[in-house]
Amino acid sequence: MNKKLGKLLSLLVLIFPLLASLTSVTEVSAAEADAVSVNLHKRVFEKGASGENPYPKQNTGEEMADFGGTPLNDVTFEVYDVSAKFIELSGANSAEDATTKIVADAKASNYAPDYATKLDSQKTAGEGVATFANLPIKKDGKFATYLFVETNSPANIKEKAAPIVLTMPVYKGDTNVINTNIHVYPKNEKEAMLEKDLTEEAKKKLALTINGDTIYNVEKGVPFAYGISALLPWNIADKDFYRVIDTPNEGMKVLVDTVVVEGLEKDKDFTIKADTTGRGFILEFNTKSDKVKALAGKRAKISYDAVLTEDAKIDTGLNNEAKVEIGTNVKPGEPGTPGEPGEPEKPTDPPVVGPKVYTGGKKFKKVDDKTSAELAGAKFNLVKLDAEGNITSYATYTNGKYTWNAEKDAATAFESDAKGEFQVTGLEYSEKLPAGTSYAVVEIEAPTGYAVLDKPVKFDVIKDQFDTEVLSVKNIKKGLLPSTGGNGIYAFLAVGTVLMAGAFVWFRRTRVSAEV
C-alpha cells in the first residue's frame, strides 16, 4: 500500500506543473481578449421605490437576478468613446476623479460632451436589455474608456438614468480574470403621465353623501372645475409635439376658454382648441418654449371648467377622459418610417378619468282626479319653496341652463303632452338643497274644463328614482255650465222665471193670510 501511495504522490507532483500552466494559459487568454460585450439591463421602479431598501444595489458587472424593478423596453442608449479624455484627466487626477468629471460633463451637455465619439446606438428589448457587442478593450494600445448615455425613454419616465463610464478592463469579482460579458443595471423611476380630479373647491361644492358613499351632483349648466397634472418627460426639448387631449362623455362639455396652464402663457407656451367631438379640448405644449423646457421632468398644472349639457342623462355618472400624445417628427424624405409627422409614440399609460358627476330630475303625469284620464295642455312653473311653503324663486330654463328669479315674469312653462306627461331635468338632488328648501311645480294653466290647482305641488329629486317613479298631478273638473249664448240657456232662464213667479205668488198669499 505504501508503495502504491508513493507512486500516486509522485504522479501528482509531475501533473501539478501541467495544471498550473493550463490555468496560466486561461488567464493570459482572458487578459489578451480584444473585445467585450456590455449588456445594459434597464430597470424601472415606481415613484420613490428606487431609494428604498435594499435599493439601490451596487452593480457588480455580473448578472443580478435580484436587482429589482421591472424590465423596461423601448429605451435608447448610445455608447461613446472617451478614452483620450479619460487618459488626459487621470494623468493629473485619480481614475475616480476622471470618471466623475466625464459623468458631470455628460449631464451638463444633456447627452454626451463634445470630446466624446459616438460608436453605436441600441434600444432595450426582450427583458429590457440593450447589448453593445464587440467593443474593443484597447485603443491605440491603451485600455479604452466608454461612456453610455440614455437618449430616449417612454414618456412616463421622470428622469433619465445617470451616465455610465466603464474603463477597461473590468474584472470578474476579486479575480484577475477579465469579464468579457459585462452586465450593468441602469435604473429609472416612472410616474403617471396624467393625474386628474375635480378641484377641491368643486368637490366641496358638488359632494353629496348617500348611504355612506360620496357622489358629485350638479345642476345642468352650472360650471365645475377639473385639475390635470401632466408629467413633462425629461427630454421634452427633443419632442416635436406633446398634447393633452380631454374628451368628456356625451352630456358634458368643457368650456374651452377657461383652460389655463399654471405659469405658462396661452398662444406662446401652449395652444388650445376644441377636440373632434366639440365637447373637449386639445392642449399642445410648445416644446421649444423656454418655460416648457424648464418643466422637463416636472409636472404642469392644467385647470378648466366643465358643465353638464342639455343631453346629460339623468342619474347617470358622467365623466371625461384625458390622454397624452407625444412624438418626434421624422425628417422630410423618410416616408413610411415610425414617427412620421403627427404620429404619436406608443402610449405609456392608459387614459385617465376623473370622478363621475350626476344630475337629477323628476317625471310627472297630469290626470283626471276621478277617472285618471291623461290630460294634455296643463302648464306649470318650476319653483323653490321655503319651509312655510312660500315661493322663493321661479326657474327659467334656456340653452340647457336654469336661472332662478324672485319674479315669475320670465319663468319657463312646462306643458303636459298628449299622454299627460311632462318632466323637469338637470336638477340638484333634494338632499343638496338648503335646509327648509324644496322643489315644487305651480300650475299656471289647466286643461280645458278643469280648475287650476290653487297650491304648489311639492316633490323631491332623489337619485335613481327618475325612471322608476312618476308623480301624478290630479285636476278636478269645473261644474257643467252651458256655453254663453247657447240655446240651452233659455231653458234655464224659463225654469228660473217660473220658479221666481211661483215664489212671488206664495209670498203674497202668505202675507195676505198674515194680515187677516
- CATH number corresponding to 360-475: 2.60.40.10
Spatial CB neighbours of 507, under 8 Å, sequence gap ≥ 6:
none
For residue 261, which phi and psi values (nearest 5 degrees)?
A: -120, 125
Burial of 335 per CB tally in 10 Å (0-12, 13-18, 19+): exposed
Q: Is the distance from CB of 445 to CB of 465 less than 8 angstroms?
A: no
Site of grid cell 400624445: 325
How many whole angstroms from its chain centre is CA 71?
26
- Rounded Cα distance between 320 and 348, Å, is 19
Q: What pLDDT is stored for residue 469 in this prediction? A: 97
Q: Which three cell numbers stand for residue 347?
A: 402610449
- Rounded Cα distance between 355 and 319, Å, is 7
Q: Which three cell numbers stand for residue 262?
A: 399654471
How crowded is residue 93: how many other Cβ atoms within 10 Å of its Cβ?
Answer: 13
**CATH 2.60.40.10 residue ranges for the chain:** 35-190, 360-475
Fold of 194-358: Immunoglobulin-like (2.60.40)
Q: What stretch of H or E contains 119?
A: strand 117-123
CA-based nearest residue to 161, from 187, 142, 181, 192: 187
Spatial CB neighbours of 143, under 8 Å, sequence gap ≥ 6:
83, 137, 167, 168, 169
Query: Running DSSP on this structure, what letter comes out for residue 32?
Result: T
Produce one character per residue of 451-482: b if its CB has 16 or more CB atoms within 10 Å, e if not: eebeebbebebbbebbeeeeeebebeeeeeee
For residue 142, which phi and psi values (nearest 5 degrees)?
A: -120, 155
Q: What pLDDT is stored for residue 489 in this prediction? A: 45
Q: Which three cell numbers stand for residue 44?
A: 424601472
Amino acid at 502: G
**CATH 2.60.40.740 residue ranges for the chain:** 194-358
How crowded is residue 380: how many other Cβ atoms within 10 Å of its Cβ?
Answer: 25
Instruction: Write out the chain's pLDDT in tens, 516 residues.
Output: 444 434 333 333 333 333 333 333 334 344 467 999 999 999 998 876 555 544 456 788 899 887 888 999 999 999 999 999 999 999 888 999 999 999 999 999 989 999 999 999 999 999 999 999 999 999 999 999 999 999 999 999 988 999 999 999 999 988 889 999 999 999 888 999 999 999 999 999 999 999 999 999 999 999 999 999 999 999 999 999 999 999 999 999 999 999 999 999 999 999 999 999 999 999 999 999 999 999 999 999 999 999 999 999 999 999 999 999 999 876 555 555 655 555 788 888 999 999 999 999 999 999 999 999 999 999 999 999 999 999 999 999 998 999 999 999 999 999 999 999 999 999 999 999 999 999 999 999 999 999 999 999 999 999 999 999 999 999 999 864 444 444 444 444 444 555 555 655 544 555 444 444
Indicate the pTM of the whole model.
0.78
CA distances from 327 to 115, 246, 253 (A): 29, 18, 27
Q: Is the distance from CB of 67 to CB of 41 less than 8 angstroms?
A: yes
Domain 35-190, classified CATH 3.30.720.210, yes or no:
no
Q: Is the distance from CB of 189 to CB of 158 less than 8 angstroms?
A: yes
Q: What pLDDT is stored for residue 368 in this prediction? A: 96
Q: What stretch of H or E contains 101?
A: helix 95-108
